[in-house]
Amino acid sequence: MFDKMTGNGNGNKMNMRIHVLEQILSSIETDGSSARVNSLRQVIRRNKADMADDAGKSLDLMRRIFQNEITKELQQIMDRHIRTTFSPAIENLKKNGHVVDQEVINDLYTSILDAAKAPFMRDRASTMNRDRLNSEKSVKRGYESDESDVSILSQSSEVKRRRGRPRKEDEPTLDLSPLTLHEVLRWCPERHLLSTRYIPAAKVAALLSIPVTVFFSKYPRMFRYSCDEDDRAFLMEEKKLSRGAGRCYLMVMDDVTELLGRSPDLEFAAFTLNEHILLKMRSRTVPVFERLKARLPPSAYIFNQ
Cβ contact 227:139 at 8 Å: no
Range list of β-strands (E), the chain: 198-200, 225-226, 249-252
Q: What does the longest C-alpha to C-alpha distance in the chain come to? A: 87
pLDDT band at 134 (very low <50, low <70, confident <90, very high): low
- Report the Cα 263 to chain-centroid distance in Å: 12
What pLDDT digit, counting tens, does each position of 165-217 carry? 445 445 665 566 788 888 999 999 999 999 999 999 999 988 888 888 888 88
For the chain, give me the number of helices (H) and strands (E)?
Answer: 14, 3
pLDDT at 42: 76
What pLDDT digit, counting tens, does each position of 68-121 carry? 889 889 999 999 999 999 999 999 999 999 899 998 898 898 888 888 877 776
pLDDT band at 29 (very low <50, low <70, confident <90, very high): low
CB atoms within 10 A of CB 125: 8
pLDDT at 17: 66
Asked whether the predicted pLDDT for residue 218 surpasses 70, the reply is yes
What is the Cα Rg of the chain in Å? Answer: 24
End-to-end CA distance of the chain, in Å?
A: 61
Three-state DSSP class for 113? helix
* Closest-CA residue to 129 (of 236, 40, 29, 37): 236
What pLDDT digit, counting tens, does each position of 141-152 carry? 444 444 433 333
Three-state DSSP class for 225? strand
pLDDT band at 295 (very low <50, low <70, confident <90, very high): confident
Share of the chain above pLDDT 70, in %: 67
